[in-house]
Amino acid sequence: MYDQIAYYYDLTHQDLTEDIPFVLSQAAAVDGAILELGCGSGRLLLPLARAGHTVVGLDNSATMLERAQTQLAQEDAAVQGRVTLVTADMITFQLPQQFALIVIPFNTLLHVKPNQIGPMLRNINQHLASHGRLLIDTINPFYIADAPDTEELELEDVFEDAQKNWVVEQWSRNWLVVEDQVFFIEWVFNVFDRQQNPITSDAVQIEYYYYLPHQLQLHLENAGLEPEQLWGDYDNSPFDEETPRLLSLSKKAE
């Protein structure tokens, strides 16, 4: 799916930076290599490497990893030497090392289906060093559960690509299947030149699966992981139903 919308994903997330200091602070608290699951084009991966961390970036989208490689090639040799990019599935990946920190970054958990989360977390446990930590960053699931359905496409945002001299309209509609805890969203991207002449249009439908805090805790515990912290935002404030994020830090159970 991200092979199709890699360009649009990067464009619509180009201003997303507020999570970076938080992830860097968690990385600074561990000693050893870091694994980012769903690293995409390197939005978090590169700041981690620049900060001196050895990082493995894993993604199942070859197109996103190509974009990451392009950005990595612009870094100095020391930063490049700290990064390894791997094409693999975040559920079933097998790597020949263990990690001090494994990160499931910004909303990536929403792609994990209910029948996948248990196997994924058990696999993560096997790849954690004895002192390792798992960091999960996702939107507050209560936000999703309360989201109203939209029957018609609505203009969500407009982005400018200065390099291509394009204007990109992002339209969306969404609906929720409460009993399955799955949120569907359809995005349509309409691309124009500066004179509003149409260039191209692409559409994609995505399913997002959300887990309430007690459900996530149970999945973690069943995988042999012990939740340590639950925050509601990047300032380390406590989680509640009104906070924007659900940030979970876990360790191997003793």
What confidence tens digit (pLDDT) does each residue in 89-137 have?
A: 999 999 999 999 999 999 999 999 999 999 999 999 999 999 999 999 9
Would the pTM count as exceeding 0.75?
A: yes
Q: What φ, ψ does residue 185 adopt, rounded to 5°?
A: -135, 135
| 144 contacts 183 by C-beta, under 8 angstroms | yes
For the domain spanning 144-209, the CATH number is: 2.20.25
Q: What is the four-CA torsion angle of 195, 197, 203, 209, rounded to 10 degrees? A: 10
| 155 contacts 168 by C-beta, under 8 angstroms | no
pLDDT, the chain, mean: 96
Q: What pLDDT, on a 0 to 100 scale, did the predictor assign at position 5?
A: 86
Is residue 156 pLDDT above 70, yes or no? yes
β-pair partners for 202: 189
For the chain, which residues make up each domain, given as ranges?
2-140+212-252, 144-209
On the question of a common fold for 2-140+212-252 and 144-209, the answer reads no
Is residue 1 pLDDT above 70, yes or no? no
Q: What pLDDT, on a 0 to 100 scale, did the predictor assign at position 160?
A: 94
pLDDT tens, position by position, 26-80: 999 999 999 999 999 999 999 999 999 999 999 999 999 999 999 999 999 999 9
pLDDT tens, position by position, 192-202: 999 999 999 99
CA distance 227 to 221: 8
Looking at the domain covering 2-140+212-252, what would its CATH class be? Answer: alpha beta
Q: Is 247 helix (H, G, I), strand (E, B) or coil?
A: strand
- The band of 151, judged by pLDDT with boundaries at 50, 70 and 90, is confident
> Quick one: which of 83, 99, 13, 10 has its CA closest to 45?
83
CA 65 and chain centroid, separation: 14
